[in-house]
Structure 1
Amino acid sequence: MKLLFIGSRLYDDLDWYVKSKGIESILTESNEEAINLDLPDQVFIVPRGMDGPKQVALMQKVDAVVPLIGIDPPLIDVAHMKEELEAEYDIPVIAAGVRAVELTSDKIRTKGFYTEIGVETPNYQILNSSDELTLDFPVVLKQGQGQGGKDIKVARSIGDVEEYFKEFDQALCEEFIEGAEISIEVLGFNGEFVALPPIYKGETTLEGTHPLNKTKTGPCMVEGLDNNLVQHTAYKVAKNLDSDGIFEMDFMYSRKNNQLYAIEVNTRPNGTRYLTTATCGVNSLCELVNMAIGEFSLSNISDKLQYFYSTEIPIGNYHGPAPNEPVKSFEVNDFVVHGPEGYQRVTARANSKQELENLVEKLI
């Protein structure tokens, strides 16, 4: 079995799994100084875009393509490549298709999609000037495209809105939901979908604190919230997107209103994947490989499911005990260190809350 991986930044997360399966690995990357280029069997440096990876896939006669792209802009090009390679060359590309990417890469279109399928989302309006605002403060101002908290502002007054419009001509304006932030991964392939356990990412703040700066826990345990509802809603969203790969969804839960609100969907590997793996034993990146080699199924996922208490803590630079090899595998570790120097995080798991607290004390 020969697989082509696109993008090297995330490749070390699954290199150990690729090798364990005896897969011949080929990787394309546009940056010749990128990390992890020493890990695959072959590496091809190609120009930005998907034409280079497509040509490598055809030249090397690969069995499938697994994009490892963690940012939004290239996803639509990946989707078009997927349609071409699958339709004309019968080479599976384990990624979202054009419709799914178009619906999820623009927050305004995502809002319309939620309304169409009957999923609750915070009240919103599209503003072309501050004078058009009718929602009560505080509100959240966003651009249609962007990720990682970019171009998002929590506005508490009309002055904040006016300040936002000094930089932007239009805004998606959404009511501010006070409550719990929740993420969940859904895996989908060939019309089968499975929602993994939800992750608690902390409380919403008027300061707009980024999730990377919060301590997160799994499984999600928020008073009043039924995790089955989160999983059911996430499944419904993925089923209606009807595509392949990883879907990471963000929700808010308002205790005041006892209401779950859908916020956005990402059709790519995401920042909560370590915590999801620690919590339930299912590694979404490894499941992309399983989709490519014909070993993904709902029954296989069910057989892998485990139940742990887990947490992810931002630490800057890690100086604790070294994990076992492979260092990114929870199959041989009860903790994983990830992220670049200065912004590292530790994700740890244990069988009980007390055991988890004891482990964290040793690590940090």
Structure 2
Amino acid sequence: MKLLFIGSRLYDDIDWYVKSKNIESVLTESNEEAINLDLPDQVFIVPRGMDGPKQVALMQNVDAIVPLIGIDPPLIDVAYMKEEVEEEYGIPVIAANVRAVELTSDKIKTKEFYESIGVVTPNYQILNSPDELTLDLPVVLKQGKGQGGKDIKVAKTIEEVQEYFKEFDQALCEEFIEGSEISIEVLGFNGEFAALPPIYKGETTLEGVHPLNKVKTGPCIVEGLDNNLVQHTAYKVAKNLGSDGIFEMDFMYSSKKDQLYAIEVNTRPNGTRYLTTATCGVNSLCELVNMAIGEFSLANISDKLEYHYSTEIPIGNYEGPAVKEPAKSFEVNDFVVHGPVGYQRVTARANSKEELEKLVEKLI
């Protein structure tokens, strides 16, 4: 079995798994100084875009293509390439299709999609000027496109709304939901969808603290919230998108209103994947490989499910005990270190809260 992987930044997360499956790995990358280029069997440096990877896939006669792209802008090009390569050459591309990317890469379209399938989302309006504001303050101001908290502002006063419009001509304006932030991964392939355990990402703040600066835990334990509701809602969203790959969804739960709100969907690998793996034993990136080699099924996911307590902590530069090789595998480790130097995070797991606390004390 020969697979083409697009993008090297995330490849070290799955290199150990690819080798364990005796898969011949081919990788394309547009940056010749990128990390992880020493890991695959073959590497091709290609221009930006999807034409280079497509040509390499055909030249190398690969069995499937697995894009490892963790940012939004290239996803639509990947989606168009997927539809072309699958239709004309019969090579599976394990990624979202054009419709799914178009609906999820624009926050306004995502809102409209939620409403069309009957999923509750915070009240919103499209503002072309601060004078049009009708929602009660505070509000959350966003741009239609963007990720990782970019161009998002929690405005507590009309003056802060006016300040936002000094930089932007339009804004998606949402009511501010006070409550718990939740993330969940859904895996989808050939019409089958598996919603993994939800992850708790902390409480909303008027200061708009970035998710990378918060301590996260798994599984999600929030008083009054039924995790089955989160999984059911996430499953409903993924099924209506009707595409392949990883879906990462963000929700808010308001205990005051006892209401779960859908916030956004990403059709790519995401920042909570280590915590999800630590919590339930299912690695979403490895499952992309399983989709490519015909080993993904709901039964296989069910057989892999484990139950652990886990946490993810930002530590800057890790200086604790060394991890075992393969360093990114929870199959041999009870903790994994990830992220660039200076912004590293430790994700750890244990069989009880008490054991987890002791492990964290040892690590940090």
Q: If the length of structure 2 is used for normalisation, what is the TM-score? A: 1.00
Q: CA deviation at 1:103?
A: 0.1
Q: Does 1:213 align with 2:225?
A: no
Q: Does 1:228 align with 2:228?
A: yes
Q: Does 1:115 align with 2:107?
A: no
Q: CA deviation at 1:14?
A: 0.2
Secondary structure of 2:222 counterpart: coil
Letter in 2 for 1:354: E
Letter in 1 for 2:353: K
Secondary structure of 1:212 counterpart: helix
Task: State the alpha-carbon separation in 2 of the partners of residues 322 and 25 from structure 1.
Answer: 28
Q: Does 1:272 align with 2:272?
A: yes
What is aligned with 2:362? 362
What is aligned with 1:315? 315
Deviations 1:24-76 (A, max 9, x none): 00000000000000000000000000000000000000000000000000000
What is aligned with 1:47? 47
What is aligned with 2:148? 148
What is aligned with 1:139? 139
Q: CA deviation at 1:333?
A: 0.1
Q: CA deviation at 1:159?
A: 0.4
Task: State the alpha-carbon separation in 1 of the partners of residues 58 and 210 from structure 2.
Answer: 41
What is aligned with 1:129? 129
Task: State the alpha-carbon separation in 2 of the partners of residues 325 and 162 from structure 1.
Answer: 52
Task: State the alpha-carbon separation in 1 of the partners of residues 58 and 167 from structure 2.
Answer: 44
Q: CA deviation at 1:126?
A: 0.1
Q: CA deviation at 1:124?
A: 0.1
Task: State the alpha-carbon separation in 1 of the partners of residues 51 and 310 from structure 2.
Answer: 41
Q: Does 1:192 align with 2:160?
A: no
Deviations 1:98-128 (A, max 9, x none): 0000000000000000000000000000000
Moved over 3 A (4+): none
Task: State the alpha-carbon separation in 2 of the partners of residues 157 and 357 from structure 1.
Answer: 40
Letter in 2 for 1:16: W
Letter in 1 for 2:191: G
Letter in 1 for 2:334: D
Task: State the alpha-carbon separation in 2 of the partners of residues 211 and 220 from structure 1.
Answer: 15
Task: State the alpha-carbon separation in 1 of the partners of residues 107 and 33 from structure 2.
Answer: 33
What is aligned with 2:33? 33
Q: Within 5 A, what are the aligned runs for 1:1-364?
A: 1-364=1-364
Deviations 1:210-267 (A, max 9, x none): 1100000000000000000000000000000000000000000000000000000000
Secondary structure of 2:99 counterpart: helix
Q: CA deviation at 1:183?
A: 0.1
Task: State the alpha-carbon separation in 2 of the partners of residues 156 and 321 from structure 1.
Answer: 44
Secondary structure of 2:186 counterpart: strand
Secondary structure of 1:282 counterpart: coil
Task: State the alpha-carbon separation in 1 of the partners of residues 50 and 298 from structure 2.
Answer: 31
Q: CA deviation at 1:318?
A: 0.1
Secondary structure of 1:5 counterpart: strand
Letter in 2 for 1:179: G
Letter in 1 for 2:138: P
Structure 2 residues without counterparts, runs of 5 or longer: none
Q: If the length of structure 1 is used for normalisation, what is the TM-score? A: 1.00
CA RMSD across the alignment: 0.2
Letter in 2 for 1:218: G
Secondary structure of 1:140 counterpart: strand
Q: CA deviation at 1:175?
A: 0.2
- Identical aligned pairs, as a percentage? 88
Structure 1 residues without counterparts, runs of 5 or longer: none
Secondary structure of 1:134 counterpart: coil
Task: State the alpha-carbon separation in 2 of the partners of residues 226 and 105 from structure 1.
Answer: 28
Letter in 1 for 2:119: V
Q: CA deviation at 1:129?
A: 0.3
Q: CA deviation at 1:342?
A: 0.4
Task: State the alpha-carbon separation in 1 of the partners of residues 159 and 210 from structure 2.
Answer: 23
Letter in 2 for 1:3: L
Letter in 2 for 1:268: R
Letter in 2 for 1:266: N
Task: State the alpha-carbon separation in 1 of the partners of residues 319 and 74 from structure 2.
Answer: 35
Task: State the alpha-carbon separation in 2 of the partners of residues 106 and 208 from structure 1.
Answer: 21
Deviations 1:157-189 (A, max 9, x none): 110010000000000000000000000000000
